[in-house]
Amino acid sequence: MARTRPSDADPFTDSAAIHDERDAIVESTLSVGRNATLTLGTDAVIVLDEGLHRDSGFNCFGLLPQKTTSTHTVPYFNVLWAEIVKGDLTIQYARPTSKSAQSPVHVAYVNYTLENSTSAEEKAARWIARLLDRAYGRAQRNKRIKVLINPFGGAGKAAKIYTKSIEPIFAAARCEVDAERTTHKAHAVEICENLNINAFDVVASASGDGLPHECINGLARKPNAAEALRKVAVVQLPCGTGNAMSWNLTGTAEPSTAALCIVKGLRTPLDLISVTQGSTRTLSFLSQSLGIVAESDLGTENIRWMGDARFTFGFLVRLLGKTLYPVEIAVKTEIEDKQAIKRHYAKQVAKRAQAGGLAQHDLDGPLDTSTNLGLPPLQYGTVNDPLSTDAGWSPMTPYPNLGNFYCGNMTMMAADAPFFPAALPSDGMLDLVTIDGDISRMQAIDLLLSVPKGTFFDKECVRYRKVKAVRVMPQFGQKAGLEQNERRQNTLGKMLDRIGAQGNGRNASRDGGYFSVDGEKMPFEPFQIEVHRGLGTVLSKNVGVYEAIGPKGWEDLDTATGE
């Protein structure tokens, strides 16, 4: 047999690279016992154990035992921790309890006793280091979490949900946790105002969307508010009736799965919105609404027993009543054409897909860092100041037939309610939806049905804009339609009375109306809203985008040409 001389070898072969690749393969596989190996695969740990058998499904008349080697995988995302203690290697991971996409998870273990030698333990330690690098990637390990539990959240079950479903996930991931129950309204505001921001990486609210709203506004009260809001990530452990923050950032409202997503969450800048009324300034992270959405939420508190159906019921009653909410409105519009909005969304998603591991500020450029102390100054003043003359502002314009004013900073207001499909976490813009209140009842019902289908955005009667700021002057009772609206509200009151919801809905609009910020009731009076890009911080599965599908058809756009 002819021997190959060095001069005959492939000159393009890098022998050193081949050896490195072989070494990497060897180092990726760890033998644990005589018949078991743990291998670092592309996106999961592969457990191959000849000592664990399962039936193959075939047995020749029961005479020949048929067994197969047991192999299972643990996705890196589900790996919580790994360590060696007294010669035992243990991997703790979050295991789904079913195959459902929204399945809860519980802590499970892979455990093996290592060979009793220094070299075996050193090799295992190196393997664990590589495993944790893959399991956490750019996510922070051992997060320091301040947990605030609303004992009244989730029909009074929030504390139980936290103890049973969330706390074990944090413990297995070796997070440092300090849990505290809130005792009264705005207690979370007080706690966060006095929080040591150097002691915690995350404030997690075991609640609905109300507690994250309080946490953000508590941090905003600090003398160094801008620093606090960027340093401490505000997240939600979904335990309430409204879990929009969790749906948008983690794609779930299942508490244990959301806890896993927080353990693996990436720090993500989030636009925050200043809402000014009189001399009061409030920060918002989710939405601002006036009209049918606000009334369907806040005006149905007395029928909470209906669960999520109360919102749909309230919405339908007001649709059929064709209630109007007269206002005067001025808007600083950035993008108005729906196709241009889709193109903007597509470009932002493409930018993040191409960026790989780049940080958010590398993608968007410098964030709003005009102050290192308190909140950033209001670029357009308050609602009490003269309207800005900057380019892009419309004049104050009467809107006597407004049916719905809805501003969104996140895509989903609930699991099946993607009202703002083009919303992005930190593009420095709000998504504004306005709809006339005198559209036909058939159109109105079609609108309601279009939201979960993802076709709401493209409806002709939906005006959808990307905006920087808005000023609204409610004119209820002053601009025609008072008697007509009163008749409609009396009809609503009678319907609510029939189902045992006396009082709260009947005179709501007649007495002044509802204005909602993040689902919290605010005074029904003039207001102005303004966006601050990247002022807040959250944890998300994917930096720069929400866990949503986007406006229909955006994937088909050529981001270079917009066609």
CATH of the domain at 291: 2.60.200.40
Cα dihedral 101/104/110/111 (nearest 10) = 180
Looking at the structure of the chain, the number of domains it has is 3
- Quick one: pLDDT at residue 317? 74
432-455 residue pLDDT tens: 999 999 999 899 889 888 999 999
443, 510: one domain: yes
Determine, yes or no, domain membership for 22. no
147, 227: one domain: yes
- Quick one: pLDDT at residue 307? 61
Reported confidence tier of residue 15, pLDDT bands at 50, 70, 90 = low
96, 235: one domain: no
258-291 residue pLDDT tens: 999 999 999 999 999 999 999 999 999 999 999 8
Q: Pick from 240, 264, 288: which residue ends a domain?
A: 264
Determine, yes or no, domain membership for 556. no
* DSSP class of 536: E
CATH of the domain at 204: 3.40.50.10330
Determine, yes or no, domain membership for 23. no
Q: Pick from 215, 247, 264: which residue ends a domain?
A: 264
Instruction: Give the rounded percent of residues in the chain with a pLDDT score beyond 70.
Output: 79
Amino acid at 320: L
How far are the Cα atoms of 47, 79, 282, 521 from residue 103, in angstroms, in the given order? 22, 16, 36, 33
Look-up of token digits 């299942």: 254
Distance of alpha carbon 429 from alpha carbon 271, whole angstroms: 8
Q: What residues contact 374, with CB distance under 8 A and at least 6 apart?
A: 223, 224, 225, 226
Q: Helix, strand, or coil here: 537?
A: strand
Determine, yes or no, domain membership for 1. no
- 499-536 burial, b at 16+ Cβ within 10 Å, e below that, comes to eebeeebbebbbeebbbbbbbbebebebbbbbbbbbbb
Range of the domain at 358: 271-364+379-534
How far are the Cα atoms of 153, 196, 219, 534 from residue 183, in angstroms, in the given order? 12, 20, 19, 31
Q: Which two tokens stand for residue 20?
A: 């490195």
- Residues 281-308: what's their mean pLDDT? 82
326, 241: one domain: no
Of 142-156, 292-306, 491-505, the range with the lowest mean pLDDT is 491-505
- Quick one: pLDDT at residue 6? 46
Q: Pick from 216, 234, 264: which residue ends a domain?
A: 264
Determine, yes or no, domain membership for 312. yes
- Residues 407-422: what's their mean pLDDT? 94
192, 50: one domain: no
482, 338: one domain: yes
φ, ψ (nearest 5 deg) of residue 138: -85, -5
- Residues 51-78: what's their mean pLDDT? 64
- Quick one: pLDDT at residue 34? 76
Reported confidence tier of residue 475, pLDDT bands at 50, 70, 90 = confident
502-548 residue pLDDT tens: 433 333 344 568 899 999 999 999 999 999 999 999 999 999 999 99
95-108 residue pLDDT tens: 999 988 889 999 99
Determine, yes or no, domain membership for 371. no
Strand partners, 466: 335, 431
124, 148: one domain: no
Of 187-191, 234-238, 302-306, the range with the lowest mean pLDDT is 302-306
- Quick one: pLDDT at residue 318? 73
332-348 residue pLDDT tens: 999 999 999 999 999 99
Q: Which two tokens stand for residue 494?
A: 């009678």
Q: With 0-12 CB in 10 A as exposed, 13-18 as middle and 19+ as buried, what is 13?
A: exposed
217, 345: one domain: no
127, 55: one domain: yes
228, 346: one domain: no
Determine, yes or no, domain membership for 173. yes
Which among 273, 271, 285, 295 is positioned nearest to 474, based on CA atoms?
A: 295
DSSP H stretches of helix in 413-558: 441-453, 482-498
Distance of alpha carbon 506 from alpha carbon 504, whole angstroms: 6
- Residues 403-407: what's their mean pLDDT? 94
- Residues 285-299: what's their mean pLDDT? 87
How far are the Cα atoms of 90, 333, 340, 410 from residue 554, in angstroms, in the given order? 45, 21, 10, 17
Tell me how crowded residue 375 is: count the other CB atoms within 10 A of its CB: 18
301, 447: one domain: yes
- Quick one: pLDDT at residue 498? 52
Q: Taking the alpha carbons of 332, 335, 341, 343 in that order, is the dihedral positive or negative? A: negative
- Quick one: pLDDT at residue 2? 47
Q: Residue 163: is its pLDDT beyond 80?
A: yes
Strand partners, 408: 287, 431
86, 161: one domain: no
- Residues 175-191: what's their mean pLDDT? 98
- Residues 312-338: what's their mean pLDDT? 86
Q: Residue 193: is its pLDDT beyond 60?
A: yes
